[in-house]
Amino acid sequence: MPVYERLAGARSRTVGTKQTLKALQKGKVRLVYVARDAEEKVVRDILRLSREKNVEVVYADSMVRLGQACGIHVGAATAAVLED
């Protein structure tokens, strides 16, 4: 699970597209996770804003695995590690 280590060990993080987008807009994101099987229309703005703000994007295997790494029992399209 090395892809998810930084997310699982993060002191502060967001889970879900709305929260991740808000954090990106505020400039508080260090690293973004995007599930490979998430719908393009759901993650489009996250990917665009990540590029604009030069935030690293890591692709997760699936929404289910990303949700598990975040400690939730449902899938997650996106998540982010926030600045300390």
Burial of 81 (0-12, 13-18, 19+ CB in 10 A): buried
State the CATH class of domain 2-82: alpha beta
Q: What is the pLDDT of residues 2-28, one digit of tens each?
A: 778 888 888 999 999 999 999 999 999
Threshold 0.85, pTM exceeds = yes
Q: What is the pLDDT of residues 31-72, one digit of tens each?
A: 999 999 999 999 999 999 999 999 999 999 999 999 999 999
Q: At what angle do helices 17-25 and 40-52 cross, to 10 degrees?
A: 20
Question: Which pLDDT score, from 0 to 100, does residue 45 have?
Answer: 96
